[in-house]
Amino acid sequence: MALRHIVTVPEPVLRRKAKPVTKFDKKLQTLIDDMIETMRDAPGVGLAAPQVNISEQLIVVEYSKEEEEDGIEEKPEKPKKLYVMINPEITKTSEEKVIGVEGCLSIPGIQGEVERFEAIQVKGLNRFGKPQKLKVGGWMARIFQHEIDHLNGVLFTDLAVRLWKFQNEEEHEL
């Protein structure tokens, strides 16, 4: 496994529609492992292949519902769940939408409020080409929508109702 360079705006690959993955070979498995390591090192909760300069429909997401609970100290941290999804497609959305704060590893120093569906259903393939379907809600739904947008050349700044620069690491953590 190796860390990959995360490209930032205005890198053209971030604005291209990514190509579907058709080969499930050793090269793909290496890319997946590298993306997981890169996401964790960043640190981030999701990463799309275009963010590491690969125009293919592949995302990795790692998240724990505990993270939504504002870091309650007494609870032992639940293990994060790792998702690898190839050629993902949102097949259903809730009627309800919510506004939440987002940032992006490819747009350092900027955060914004983005309206997203509260819950979605996603279908795609796992790392071995087997079909998978997920129903996710809350922040997990937000992460999946954000990463799938990357595969279509859409950045959170395109959808934001408000944007701002954060001044320091403490503000970024919020």
Catalytic residue among 56, 62, 102, 147: 147
- Tokens 């050793």 belong to 26
Full DSSP string of 144-163: HHHHHHHHTT--HHHHEEEE
Handedness of CA 146, 152, 157, 160 (dihedral sign): negative
Check if 118 is active-site.
no
By residue count, the chain amounts to 174
Strands across the sheet containing 58-63: 46-48, 58-63, 81-93, 119-125, 131-137
Q: Distances in Å between the alpha carbon of 3 and those of 93, 137, 171?
A: 34, 30, 26
Q: Which residues carry out catalysis?
A: 147
